[in-house]
Amino acid sequence: MKNKDFLSSKIIYILISVFFAVILFFNANAVLLKNSSERTNTSETHSTTIYDMPIDLKYDNDRYFVSGYDGTANVYLTSYNQVRLTAEKTPDTRSFHLVADLSKAKEGTVEVPIRVVELATGVNAQVDPGNISVTIEKKASKTFDITPVVSEKQLPLGYKLTSISTDKKTVTVTSGASIITQIARVEAVLPSDVILDNNFSGKVFLRAVDSSGKVLPTKLSPTSVKMQVEVGLPNKNVPVVGQITGKKDSSIKDYAFKLAKDTVNIAGEQKYIDNISNITANIDVTDITKETVIKVPLSIDNVTTTPNQIEVTVTPTKK
């Protein structure tokens, strides 16, 4: 009997042990899976791209002029730390910059690597392109007259340029010694989106060009000027036609008149002046009983008249 009870107790202990072993096994696996998931999330790589980031050129600015290069590059950033990556992407919180060191380069066209400087710890960067090609020349300066430029295409039909001027007449140009010799003129160019259906006054930018009109790499002082453009409306001369108006005096049989000018100039939009062949001078003879010189106003809708009045000699004929 005692042996039977002993065996029963032993089986129960074995079953209990197996039960707890199974629980411990599944619990351990759950912990392992959780830790593995956390490690996977922690090691996730984040990335972003900064386009057209400026490149700082390091060279002797007092002696040399650098040209012939694209001054920006794209930067591909990666990091496990999303917060730090976001900080580097934002211009206001960015710690790094791009540098091309030309301090040891010789005159001529050279290619140097673009370096990432002061990049935050835990962030990796890849620059595209990795190198920059530049032309290094001895620096030179020269003074040029400013040439104002306005395209005829900016004038509506019938309009004409009457005057163009700038508030400054000369500009100092700094560039490479060989580039300075290629400069044909420095232009103050009216922006192409300006339509000259009225006078213009405003700031325009300068550019140095060669004989073919190609813009050359230069530094200009000043970089802009104030331009004034005056335009004339479409205009033409038309004859003046006199017409007697008003109340005749009872003692007067008729009136003769002589115009001081036979023609006047009218100006306005082309569509209006095209439809005008003459202008009428209305000669009011009310109360005129002897030869008299009067001033007669001239006007017509949608155009201006020059002069806007003429003298007329009126000679009455008595009955």
- CATH number, domain of 293, equals 2.170.120.40
Q: Is the pLDDT of residue 31 over 50?
A: no
Structural domain of 152: 138-232
What three-state secondary structure class fits 273?
A: helix
Both tokens assigned to 267: 């100006």
Each residue of 80-93: pLDDT tens digit? 999 999 999 999 99
Q: What is the pTM of this model?
A: 0.66
Residues 198-208 have a mean pLDDT of: 96
Domain count for the chain, please give it.
4
> Of 137, 172, 200, which residue sits at a domain end?
137
Whether residues 33 and 57 fall in one domain: no
Whether residues 265 and 303 fall in one domain: yes
Taking the C-alpha atoms of residue 108 and residue 140, their distance in angstroms, rounded to an integer, is 15
Q: Is the pLDDT of residue 154 over 60?
A: yes
Residues 235-249 have a mean pLDDT of: 93
For the chain, give the mean pLDDT. 89
Whether residues 222 and 303 fall in one domain: no
Grade residue 249 by pLDDT with cuts at 50, 70 and 90: confident
Residues 36-41 have a mean pLDDT of: 44
Quote the pLDDT of residue 13. 56
Whether residues 202 and 164 fall in one domain: yes
Residues 66-82 have a mean pLDDT of: 95
Whether residues 29 and 5 fall in one domain: yes
Whether residues 205 and 129 fall in one domain: no
Place of tokens 């060009």: 209
Whether residues 148 and 109 fall in one domain: no
